[in-house]
Amino acid sequence: MSHVTEQSDNRWTTLTEAAGILNRSPNNLSQLCSKARIRPRAKDGLYPLDKIAKAVQESAERDLRNAPGAGQLTHLKADRLREEIGILKAKRAELEGRSVLRETVDANARELVAMFRDVLSQWCAAVRVMTADPALVAEAERLRDKALGQMKERVAP
């Protein structure tokens, strides 16, 4: 049973669930929450997930800056910390509702292309009915095909 709940724009969760989401140990998050003065709600003991994610990100950034021999960090360790910070930023954006799944964006784009295809096909049919000029009909169809081709190039299949 999940203890994650919604209140305004914040997600509230247990430290154990936050640890699973942020790839940390519950003990590590407990210490981090104490240092960052992140307190659970009194009514249910749940923690604000967005604040914990921000504290984890800031901690990783501090580690990158303040590591012993920070100027001599191995490239692999520095790259790993930068990658971890990027992952944490992405998780925070998701938690704060500032990101959208690529599948959602792709589905919406495909739906828009289908709508435009219908409108442009109706436009070509109207041109065909309203005029007897085959050159005008051919140009309308060429423009339709060009527009649809450009849309399909930009939308993932």
Q: Which two tokens stand for residue 112?
A: 């828009």
User: What is the distance in angstroms between the CA of the first residue and the CA of the last residue of the chain?
Assistant: 37
- Three-state secondary-structure class, residue 80: helix
Query: Residue 5 pairs with which residues in a beta bridge?
Result: 12
Q: Which of 20, 44, 18, 21 is nearest to 36 (CA)?
A: 18
Which pLDDT band holds residue 157 (cuts at 50, 70, 90)? low
Identify the residue with better confidence: 68 or 86.
86
Which pLDDT value is given to residue 50? 85
Nearest to 8 by CA among 54, 50, 58, 53: 50
Instruction: Tell me the three state secondary structure of residue 47.
Output: strand
116-142 pLDDT, tens digit each: 999 999 999 999 999 889 999 999 999
| Span 26-51, pLDDT tens digits | 888 888 898 889 888 888 888 888 88
pLDDT of res. 8:
40
- pLDDT at residue number 143: 93
Q: Tokens standing for 124?
A: 């070509």
CB 131 within 8 A of CB 137: yes
